[in-house]
Amino acid sequence: MTEEKTACQSEPNPHEQMQAEQRQIRERMKKIKHQILVLSGKGGVGKSTVAVNLAISLALSGKRVGLLDIDIHGPSVPKILNLEGKRLTAVGEQILPVEVAENLKVMSIGFLLQTDDDVIVWRGPIKYQMIKQFLKDVEWGSLDFLVIDSPPGTGDEPLSVVQLLEKADGAVIVTTPQELALADVRKSINFCRNLNLRVLGVLENMSGFVCPKCGQSTDIFKSGGGETMAVQMGVPFLGRVPIDPEIVRACDAGRPYVQHYSQSQTAKAFQEAIRPLAELDKKSFGKTKTNKDRRNTMRIAIPLVQGKLSLHFGHCEQFAIIDVDTEAGKVTNEERFTPPAHEPGALPKWLSGMCVDVIIAGGMGQRAQQLFAQNDIDVLVGAPDNTPNKLAAQYMAGQLRCGENVCDH
């Protein structure tokens, strides 16, 4: 009986083991200043090419960079960087990433495959464990940036890495100008908002073709759709990257494009795109009002219960997020979102990540108002019962008549 009890006590507690692994990830990430995901809602937009060239651009600017490829089923990073055939080494329980240069390290499941034709047939839980191991056991050392190349879509891999990292700086979302790609990118932006992950910016890839002989630009797949969509969704726009046939040849040959073709217009577009990312240390980066004032837009949040204004802010079921053209004074877009679980500080952080400028509420406690002020969000309380669209329109016209705060505690 005593032996049986001892054996049972020696079995690991799954909850405690999970907590211990999460602590290991936190300790590992303390050595990395910034973690950036590269996402796309659709395949074929050049996401991995963008991730690699952004990482190399950061490294060339003097930053210490890690590049983590979590595309389990189609790892492209080893091919793009001519690292095929490389194998990983371990020191104790730590995995050492492959060093491309003094300030660029790379990790990919491609380094664990015997051949390029090997196929991985895994369900979600196994992929989750693999990504957890990448974050927990890879010895990156001290880094300025960890760039994470995710597979297209909003599935297991990006969801897992966002939840495991807990405090990633945000995501760069890659699109092409076509409307089909833009529709999927909107889903990626909403994915980030639902996970309280800041959108650092949208990058429009394959945006026009610049003739290498005459320098004239031709919009093969249209151009400018990514910027228009970014403005409509209230997120920063990082720039347009034109098509260059040398990118394809560089990727096939494993030659870092921005390094070997640094004077091309496409390489300069990549270099320009990293400027705001390299300034993540500055407190002003990503401030909603700076970005929105430049684009003459504003984002208004209105808490709802059963589709109507919630008199008590903490009881809301949904938020109407409304984009307004401040020059024209017109509503340009309205969407409904379900907020995260109502915990102290959760909603201010979530709505700040949604790039909200103003909240129009029926009632809100003083402490909540203070938290929103700390997140640079203005609050109006005592709003009348009306539809979100009309409330936003009245606010923009200076005609919103607010009464007493019905939830002042």
Q: What is the pLDDT of residue 180?
A: 66
Instruction: Give CA–CA dist 69/67, Å, rounded.
Output: 7
Q: What is the pLDDT of residue 288?
A: 39
Nearest Cα residue to 236 out of 267, 203, 266, 268 = 203
Which domains are present in the chain? 14-286 (3.40.50.300), 289-396 (3.30.420.130)
pTM attached to this predicted model: 0.66
Per-block mean pLDDT, blocks of 10 residues, the chain (409 long):
47 79 90 93 83 88 91 84 86 89 88 70 80 92 93 84 89 83 80 85 80 65 71 79 78 75 78 77 42 61 88 84 82 83 75 85 82 82 87 83 68
Indicate the DSSP class of residue 141: -
Q: What is the pLDDT of residue 64?
A: 92
DSSP track, 165-179: HSS--EEEEEE-SSH
Query: CA separation (Å) from 136 to 9, 161, 216?
Result: 26, 11, 48
Instruction: Give CA–CA dist 145/136, Å, rounded.
Output: 16
Q: What single letter denotes the amino acid at residue 400?
A: L
Nearest Cα residue to 210 out of 268, 125, 153 = 268
Q: What is the pLDDT of residue 69?
A: 92
